[in-house]
Every structure is written in C-alpha cells, then in structure tokens.
Structure 1
C-alpha cells in the first residue's frame, strides 16, 4: 500500500505537470534554449569526468539505441492506455502509427545527412598514431573514396556533419512530452488507471529525464558548434511537421490523429475542471466522434 501510494502521488504530479498547457506549448522553446546555451557548460565541467568518455555505459547502452528505448516505453504506454479505455485493437494500432511515422522521418533525415556528409567530405590519412589521431595533422589520401571505404581502410573522413545524436535526443524528448501529456487530462476527467499503466508512465518520465541529461552531457563535454545546433533544429522541425502539422489534420487513412484523440470520455468532457478547462476543452473538441 505504501509503495502504491508513492506511485500514485508521483505519477499524478508528473501527469499534471506534463499535461499543463504552458508546458506543452513552450517545452520546445526550453529545449531550444538548452541546445543553444548548453555548450556554455563546457567552461565548468571537468574533462576528466566519467561522462567525458564516449565509452561510458549510458552512451553505449542508451544513446546508441535511443529510438529503440523510446519506442518500447512510449509504445507500451500508448497501447495500454488506448486499449484499456476503448478495448479496440484498431484504435490502439492507429495511435501506435505515430511512432512509425516519426521513426520513418528520423531515418529519412539520417539518410539525407549521410548523403550530405559523403558529398561534402574527403578521406584523410593521419600522420600520427595513438589516442590523439583525430586531433593530429592530416594528409589527404584519396579524394574519390566514399566514407564507408575510407573508414574500412582505417582512415579518417572529414565532411559537413550534423549531430545525429542531438537530433535524435531532441526528437525523442518532444515525442515523449506529446505522447504522455494526455495522461494528465485523462486523470483529471476521472479516468481509471491501475498500477501497470502508472508504472509505464513513470518509465516514460524517467526516460525523458535521461534523454535531457544525456543531451546536456553531449553539449557540455562534446561541444560542436554549429553541428549540434543544426541537429537540435532538425529535431524541433520534425516535431513541428508531425505533431503541429500533419497529426492535426484528424484521423484518416493517411493520418493517425493527435495523442488522446478518441480516448477521452465525451460525457465527462462536458464539465471540465476550471483549472484545466483549456486543456480539456481542446481534447473534448478532438473526441466528439467515438468511432474514430
């Protein structure tokens, strides 16, 4: 009972914070400020910190498979929430397609960034060996080689890079906020939530905190301007194209709709709480047709 009480209190606080209108409308501005001013932290962090090594556990386990972790926790939360409310597999799958579309957009951007780096880069042979090989003087080897061939030969490739790590972390943060924000209005409207749903929600909240922490670590310990700035801009652009553009068109064969659409009780929506009137009214306008 004690652990369940703690779970309910923490999940309620997190749900109402993420579901707040100001947080949902201005989180992208705060995240943009982190990307712009985060490299300033490099003036105070120690280069001997454990987070200054790319081989750190968090980088290897979470950062390299960030999209997978995001899909596992967010997908589980979205599916369980939607299915527990409507008991409709088709509706749950429709909401899960938002993750598929976001993943497709992310992969498409990554492919374009790879093509850009290949088109603007050249292969170099290091004149020194050892741990400082990337910072030592370089000798142009062969201009006609691709990036893959250059790296397989043990050489160094230098081209116009965009930080895919910052791009991924920004996109995952925005996606987590959008998909979990519906839980606050759902609880406010009297929605029933058992322990598994709350646990999944808290895992999503913890994952959001981890992505923000890793983003700060990358900006502070590995500052790369303007590649990280462009990566963050692409992440925010992807969010705006999907959640502020495409998903607002409403549910159809080509659009899954916004988070929470078709899930909240329209009868309960008729009398929202005063402090959450604006948030709930937005959702009420979106769920008038339960068949969707």
Structure 2
C-alpha cells in the first residue's frame, strides 16, 4: 500500500508544471554551457585568457576600490573556498568524472582509471606546494617589529639604521607569521598557482560532457553545472586576488607554474594511450574511435544518471 502511494506521489511530482519547467531549464542551460565549453576555440585558448589576466594584474588594481569587501582576506569566499580550493575541486570534479564514466560504460575499473588523473594532479599540486614552501623557508628571514620607544632610541643614536630586529635562524615562514612577526624573502603565490591549475583542470574534465553523453539525466546535468559554477568562482577569485592583493612577480610565477603543471599533465602525460603508467585522456574509453560527436552509445541501455 505504501509503495503504490509513493509511486503515485512520484508520478504527480514528475508531471507537475513547476518540475517540468525546472527540468527543461536544466536541459537548456546545461546543453548551451556544454556546447560553449567544448568548443575547440575556447578550450585551446583558455590558458591564454588566464595568462592575460596574470599580466594585467597591475592594471586591474587601478580599477578597484580598496574599500571593497573583496579587499579583505577574511571575506567569506576566501575563507570558505580559497583556503580549501583543491578539496572543492577534487570533490566536484571527482564526482563528475566517476558518474560520467560509470553512466556510459558501467565499468568500475574504467571509472577508477579516470579518477587516477585527479590523483596524479593532486600529487603534482602537493609536490609543488612542498617545494615552494621549502624554498620560501630557505630563502627568507623573520623580522620582529621594534617597539616605538626602542625605534626612537635607535633613530636618535644611529640614524638611517634598520628599524627591525632579525630573529634567530631556523624560523619558518609559518611560525613567523603565527607569532605576528614579518617575513621577508623570495615568495611565489601558491594561491595563483592553485587557482590557475584548478581552473584548467576543471575545464579539461567538464568539456567532455557534450562530446561523450547523448542523453544525460538530471543528476549528471546538475553536477556538470556545479563544476562549471566552481570554474567560474575560481576565475572570479583569481581576478580578486590580482586586483586587491597585487604582487605581480609572485603571482605571475605562481600562475606560470600552474599553467606549466597543466601542460605537463593534460598536454603531455595524459595524451599517452591508456596503460599502467598513464590514465589516458578524459575521453579515453568513453568515445570509440569510430563514433562521431553526439553518437556515443551506452551499450547497456539508455539509462544515464
């Protein structure tokens, strides 16, 4: 009795005008977005767009207000997303990659092989972050601001001398900043690296949506749009970072390292044929060589998540 009632309720909801309108809107928006992202001109030149933004950092600073809410690093978007940007990218991109591949081929091994691209990119990101942190600790020094009275005394006795006191050796950047001191040394923006790498990775993974799936279901479409929204958020946060926290050389090097990591992975390693040492392209195993765009068949029926 309860099962029949649930079926009737589901049928009523499925045929409700509001539900039908929402599903129709979801289909139209996802199809248009997929067509735009999968266009070769956009995919092949997106890294140039990011490079142009990085080079335009000093110019962007002249067009923003220092009183903007985005000029505060305690803003909600920075605390919620930027501090854990790689985690958000892994969760949404990994869910999309697994659901897309499994809905087309119904192969757990194939889905895990596609997820291995995300694992390889995570290893590269962690390795770069460790390397940059080690270089910053090795090349920088920690300074403790002097008190006002001591500063005035030093200026009176030794005019022109430095106004900061060098702390003992062995102080790391993290411990120095936590103590409220100032760190001076070579620095590469890990935030710019993260945002560029996440943006390029998301575009590579979600751009296959329109080329691989012929009739996707609502959950897959919704997950696709969530990934696209996250891509837009990363680009927006990169703009805020360049405009409000301009450190041109640091951000330029960080963005260049992010683009370099993407090129090594998606334009080099992942273009190899799938094997034990390469996970293959985002479309490998999902689009047969003889299948044209829009003619991908499931082989297990037309059920898509």
Q: How many equivalent residue pairs?
A: 264
Q: 1:68 aligns with which of 82, 87, 111?
A: 87
Q: 1:121 aligns with which of 140, 149, 153?
A: 140
Three-state SS of the structure 1 residue aligned to 2:248 is: coil
Q: Quick one: distance in 2 between partners of 1:156 and 1:38? A: 24
Alignment match, 1:133 = none
Q: Quick one: distance in 2 between partners of 1:31 and 1:137? A: 39
Q: Quick one: distance in 2 between partners of 1:235 and 1:137? A: 37
Q: 1:215 aligns with which of 210, 216, 238?
A: 238
Going from structure 1 to structure 2, the CA distance change for 1:183 and 1:217 (only over 3 Å counts) comes to: same
Q: How far did residue 83 of structure 1 move?
A: 0.2
Alignment match, 2:27 = 8
Q: TM (normalized to structure 2)? A: 0.82
Alignment RMSD, CA only? Answer: 1.9
Q: 2:216 aligns with which of 172, 193, 196?
A: 193
Q: Quick one: distance in 1 between partners of 2:289 and 2:278? A: 22
Q: Quick one: distance in 2 between partners of 1:84 and 1:31? A: 32
| In the alignment, structure 1 residue 245 sits paired with structure 2 residue 268 | yes
Q: How far did residue 89 of structure 1 move?
A: 0.5
| In the alignment, structure 1 residue 18 sits paired with structure 2 residue 12 | no
Q: Quick one: distance in 1 between partners of 2:215 and 2:163? A: 63
Q: 1:54 aligns with which of 64, 73, 83?
A: 73
Note the residue ranges of structure 1 that are not aligned, 5 or more in a row. Answer: 130-135, 274-279, 284-292
Q: How far did residue 40 of structure 1 move?
A: 1.2
Note the residue ranges of structure 2 that are not aligned, 5 or more in a row. Answer: 1-19, 149-161, 297-305
Alignment match, 1:159 = 185
Q: Quick one: distance in 2 between partners of 1:12 and 1:153? A: 51
Q: Quick one: distance in 2 between partners of 1:128 and 1:173? A: 44
Higher Cα Rg, which structure: 2
Three-state SS of the structure 1 residue aligned to 2:283 is: coil
Going from structure 1 to structure 2, the CA distance change for 1:128 and 1:233 (only over 3 Å counts) comes to: farther
Q: How far did residue 145 of structure 1 move?
A: 3.0
Choose 18-27 or 209-218, whichever is displaced more: 18-27
Three-state SS of the structure 2 residue aligned to 1:65 is: helix
Going from structure 1 to structure 2, the CA distance change for 1:63 and 1:146 (only over 3 Å counts) comes to: closer
